[in-house]
Structure 1
Amino acid sequence: MSNNNLPEPDTPAASLRGATRLEHDLIGNLEIPDAAYYGIQTYRAIQNFRLSDIVLSDYPALVKALAVVKHAAADANHALGGLEPKRHEAIVHACERIAAGEFIDQFPVDMIQGGAGTSTNMNMNEVVANVGLEYLGHAKGEYAYLHPNNDVNMSQSTNDAYPTAIRLGLLMDQQTLVDSLDRLIQALAAKSAEMAGVVKMGRTQLQDAVPMTLGQEFQAFASTLSDDARYLREDAPKLLHEVNLGGTAIGTGINAHPDYPRVAVDRLAAISGHPMRLAPDLIAATSDMGSFVMLSSAFKRLAVRLSKICNDLRLLASGPRTGIQEINLPARQPGSSIMPGKVNPVIPEAVNQVAFTVMGNDLAINMASEAGQLQLNVMEPLVVFKLFESSRLLARAIDMLRELCIEGITANEAHCRHLVEHSIGLVTALNPLIGYENSTRIAAQALATGRGVVELIREEKLLDDATLEKVLSPESMLRPGVAAA
């Protein structure tokens, strides 16, 4: 019987009432639901950490990556004579199944946890052991035949296996974000081509500036994000390739064969398909969070740019009758419980809020990274939680923005043209043709009378219609100097 009066964890596996098995650890004994592949240390973590309601299984890439790390470790231990063949075979069998997506629901530990990730590491050790025990023909919990610590965790510490898995998991997860971003860039570029002939006013400081095209505006959005896509695709992965696997507790490699780090990392690269390499200083690599800080900064930069684009979309679609209204955003839902006919820009608004979350996550990551002491950073669980959350939120927000907003945007071409012709800013484009004095006089007269700049120029016959059309053509907006030639 249990010597512990802690409540039952509220998880699917633990809620099953029926057969149990007795497991023992440093603290004492506990009855574990026999349907669960995890064991006593995972069970205690479920009881202790009821914080975010976001658990390891919510991020399958992290779970799969840790299984790959355990696979590589088992291969290295077997090759170096530390792990006998049957146990090695059972561990590899279990790791391959987990890495393929099985047993993901057996990882119910909260992402925010004390212990520097020990609960995460032990959750994997216990699931691998129990899946391996079944493969060997034994019951769950019969650890004499395959032990979570002695066998699955051989030559490892949480302090090297966990951060290695974080890096590999982020590499596995990154492609989703990059693919989503590439599709958004393509959609913005397509919209740019579609609206290449729509002349409008550019604005600085929310005031009329000089003419441009909507195509140019949307191409600028695409170009801005292309820089982030290139960084995430080409440079960010390099931050994650260097690992401390084999450093064990603090980077000295205690309890591991001298050749273990090299063999284990070589196997990790081979199994994962990523060019993982051993850090040159394992003690430094065990406590340093610098690569995570840099990756989070890249996420933040992308979030800032996305938010600015969404601000612009909301402004350009504002109104519809009393705002700028140069573009129409797809209507997605009624906008008010009291104002009939109102439709809000809900998709860009939601992306803004995701961006703010990512910016906040970056601050949390910076603070957690700074808060490490001496040879370990115990705040690493928060770092990994916020990195995976930012990556997932950004990918989902980008897909939502593309599918539910960008692809359905239409231009109000006639209204754009009207705003250009009536804008005082148009005189800047006409200045080389009519001179500074005429431009100043026309601008003042337009302001005083409310009449359009083009109308006044026609009235004074300062330019003929053909020249005006040339000035206001998309070609003039796209290629500086055409109108003045």
Structure 2
Amino acid sequence: MADLRIERDSLGPMEVPADALYGASTARAVENFPIARRPLPPRIVHVYGALKQACAEVHAEMGTLDGRRAEAIAQAAAEVARGLHDAHFPVDVYQTGSGTSTNMNVNEVVATLANERLGLGRVTKAEGGVHPNDHVNKGQSSNDTFPTVMHVACALTLRDDLLPVLERLVTTLGERAEAAGDTVKIGRTHLMDATPLEVAHVLGAHATAVREAAGGIRRAVDRLCRDLPLGGTAVGTGLGAPPGFAARVLARLSDRFGLSLREAEDHVAAQSAKHAFVEAHGHVRTCALALAKVANDLRHLAAGPRAGPAELRLPAVQPGSSIMPGKVNPVLCESVLQVAMRVLGNDATVTLADLAGVGSIFELNTAMPVMADAFLESVALLARAVDVFEARCVRGLSVDAARCHELVERSLMVVTALVPRLGYDLCAEIADDAYRTNRTIREVVLERGLVPAEELDALLDPVRLARGGQ
């Protein structure tokens, strides 16, 4: 049997693994919530550590906590922030909706580490030492710290993990557009042939969409950094927090993370609902939709290689079939699309978690852990998917110029360029004739003697058509 020690909380004694840094409250949560059997993402814990460190340092400055305890707490919390003790944060994602179990897990680990520093042994509570509630959690509540932490953690993940790969994808799409030169392809609307445009137009439009999505992510970062509930404590009234405490803590965290973190003007509003969080994930959802459009268009334009458009060539990264030799599939595009599906599912979770009567009830939202987990998963999946998609698919994309020219020449919709010269009705007749007889528009017009050959060449010039007839 594993070595155990006895820890106590307000409900009584609990057996805790002897080598664990956490205490009774965490042990109860582990017993109560064997649901997902995985904890919240480490970034939540790391930001929580930074928060507890800042709180201890501010208490020391304000004289609201003695220097000996404050220093021990700050040093212990700094280790948590650096990820040195991640194995001691086992609380499940699906726990108490306020995140209290995670907050207490952090409080207990920090208290134990602080008590060890003070020479009092591996205990969460010690006479003359650090107490997880009285000292580590001083001036705080789970109700204001957990939502603050989830906002900061998500803002950091968006800025540090997702934005750089989006910007790289924008650059690569731009480079591929430039490499396409003035190659013209047939346009398609309603999945049917339309008038021509340049391949560069298509890839440039994708670059624009991703660039705009990145702009949305920047707005999401800003939204997450505003109206932070720290300082509201239990219900937004600030009971137990020294005046000016939250502003000082957020100033320290702003300097540490390079974010402009701002305390809420209305703490009750900031704690009772999570509208800002839903708004921020909405930008993540829009980003997923933009990426899905890019991936889907590329895989369709590369479909073939002989019975589809095959205007683009995607890098062959793996055999595509266990039964069909030589088959290669657009697997990286499919990966991006599946990630987008997951993000949309996570968006539904985040939204439902803020729904009145479900998550946001009276003075507190009680579905914050699942919101944080869904948000961070969305960003992590998108960041990894974009990283691979850019490096292994888009960067190696090429254009089959001959195939593009063939499809433009055979397209019926180039007849649109003749409408000003011949009129709509006659052009519709020409298109129908070309379709029924399996000929090109050029062939039908020349046979009928409707337009001289030299003039027709100018009117049907692919580059001219792709540039609006100019």
Partner SS, residue 278 of structure 1 = coil
Indicate if the aligned counterparts of 2:180 and 2:200 stay in contact, CA closer than 8 A.
yes
**Cα distance, 1:475 vs. partner?**
5.6
The TM-score with structure 2 as length reference comes to 0.93
Indicate if the aligned counterparts of 1:248 and 1:256 stay in contact, CA closer than 8 A.
yes
**Cα distance, 1:235 vs. partner?**
5.2
Partner of 1:5: none
After superposition, the Cα gap between the structure-2 partners of 1:333 and 1:142, relative to the gap in structure 1 and judged at 3 Å, is closer
After superposition, the Cα gap between the structure-2 partners of 1:475 and 1:65, relative to the gap in structure 1 and judged at 3 Å, is farther
Partner of 1:167: 151
After superposition, the Cα gap between the structure-2 partners of 1:361 and 1:181, relative to the gap in structure 1 and judged at 3 Å, is same
**Cα distance, 1:361 vs. partner?**
1.0
**Cα distance, 1:109 vs. partner?**
1.7
Partner of 1:256: 241
Partner SS, residue 365 of structure 2 = coil
Which has the higher mean CA deviation after the structures are superposed, 46-55 or 188-197? Answer: 46-55
Partner of 2:416: 428
Partner of 1:347: 332
**Cα distance, 1:153 vs. partner?**
0.5
Structure 2 unaligned regions, length at least 5: none
**Which of these residues, 302, 307, 315, is aligned with residue 287 of structure 2?**
302
Q: Distance in 2 between matches of 1:19 and 1:437?
A: 90
Partner SS, residue 243 of structure 1 = coil
Q: Distance in 2 between matches of 1:272 and 1:216?
A: 39
Q: Distance in 2 between matches of 1:147 and 1:216?
A: 63
Indicate if the aligned counterparts of 1:130 and 1:141 stay in contact, CA closer than 8 A.
yes
Matched, 1:44 2:28: yes
Q: Distance in 2 between matches of 1:470 and 1:49?
A: 71
Matched, 1:103 2:91: no
**RMSD of Structure 2 on Structure 1 (CA):** 2.1
**Cα distance, 1:360 vs. partner?**
1.1
**Which of these residues, 344, 348, 353, is aligned with residue 363 of structure 1?**
348
**Cα distance, 1:97 vs. partner?**
2.1
Tell me how many residue pairs correspond in the alignment: 463
Q: Distance in 2 between matches of 1:400 and 1:466?
A: 48
**Cα distance, 1:471 vs. partner?**
4.2
**Cα distance, 1:118 vs. partner?**
0.6
Partner of 2:453: 464
Q: Distance in 2 between matches of 1:46 and 1:408?
A: 48
Partner of 1:419: 407
Partner SS, residue 149 of structure 1 = helix
Matched, 1:212 2:197: yes
**Cα distance, 1:157 vs. partner?**
0.6
Q: Distance in 1 between matches of 2:421 and 2:401?
A: 25
**Cα distance, 1:382 vs. partner?**
1.2
After superposition, the Cα gap between the structure-2 partners of 1:470 and 1:97, relative to the gap in structure 1 and judged at 3 Å, is farther
Q: Distance in 2 between matches of 1:47 and 1:321?
A: 59
Q: Distance in 2 between matches of 1:470 and 1:136?
A: 86
Matches within 5 A, 1:468-483: 468=457, 471-474=460-463, 476-477=465-466, 479-482=467-470
**Which of these residues, 129, 147, 150, is aligned with residue 111 of structure 2?**
129
- Give the aligned residue type for 2:145: A
Indicate if the aligned counterparts of 2:98 and 2:143 stay in contact, CA closer than 8 A.
yes
Q: Distance in 2 between matches of 1:90 and 1:379?
A: 33
Indicate if the aligned counterparts of 2:220 and 2:279 stay in contact, CA closer than 8 A.
no
Which has the higher mean CA deviation after the structures are superposed, 21-30 or 420-429? Answer: 21-30
Q: Deviations over 1:243-281 (max 9, x none)?
A: 111111111111222332333333333343322121111
**Cα distance, 1:115 vs. partner?**
4.4
Indicate if the aligned counterparts of 1:69 and 1:164 stay in contact, CA closer than 8 A.
no
Task: Give the share of equivalent positions with the same residue, in percent.
Answer: 38
Partner of 1:64: 46
Q: Distance in 1 between matches of 2:363 and 2:283?
A: 26
Matched, 1:408 2:393: no
**Cα distance, 1:457 vs. partner?**
4.0
**Cα distance, 1:467 vs. partner?**
6.0
Structure 1 unaligned regions, length at least 5: 1-16
**Which of these residues, 52, 59, 66, is aligned with residue 77 of structure 1?**
59
Q: Distance in 2 between matches of 1:87 and 1:217?
A: 62
